[in-house]
Amino acid sequence: MLKTFFAGTLILTAILPAAAEEVGPGIGGRNSISAEGYSAHVCTNESDGSLSLRTKPGKSSRKITELSNKTNIRVINTTNGQDGFVWFRIRKDEITGWVRSDYICNGYSIADED
């Protein structure tokens, strides 16, 4: 009986991390944070990665555009999404939308300066 319990525990331990959603290297994630009215940039896990800018907080919301890694943005609002992640309402030039906060890093990126 004890062997069966340990075998089941090992199987669950191996399966659960694979189902977990990837979290970005940025400042947000699943923790509620106060982050409004400051300059920041997109920071993905890949140097050539991109981040979806959406109409509403949540992965099921319509994509407006893709923002390249190191794109400078302005954070203008924050909310806790129904998906358990913190979402930032951001502005890039004349476009406004929502992005997951764990793919946003503090400060401007030098790589995006013109």
In a domain? residue 66 = yes
In a domain? residue 72 = yes
**Cα separation, 105 vs 76, whole angstroms:** 14
In a domain? residue 50 = yes
Structure tokens at 6: 């340990």
Q: Say what the pLDDT of residue 24 is.
A: 57
Q: What is the pLDDT of residues 9-49, one digit of tens each?
A: 444 333 333 334 555 555 555 444 555 678 999 999 898 99
In a domain? residue 95 = yes
Count of CB atoms situated within 10 Å of the CB of 60: 8
Query: pTM of the full predicted structure?
Result: 0.69
Question: What is the domain-level CATH number for residue 30?
Answer: 2.30.30.40
Q: Say what the pLDDT of residue 50 is.
A: 97
Q: How many domains does the chain have?
A: 1
Residue 111 has pLDDT above 90, yes or no: no
In a domain? residue 39 = yes
In a domain? residue 3 = no
In a domain? residue 103 = yes
Q: Say what the pLDDT of residue 36 is.
A: 61
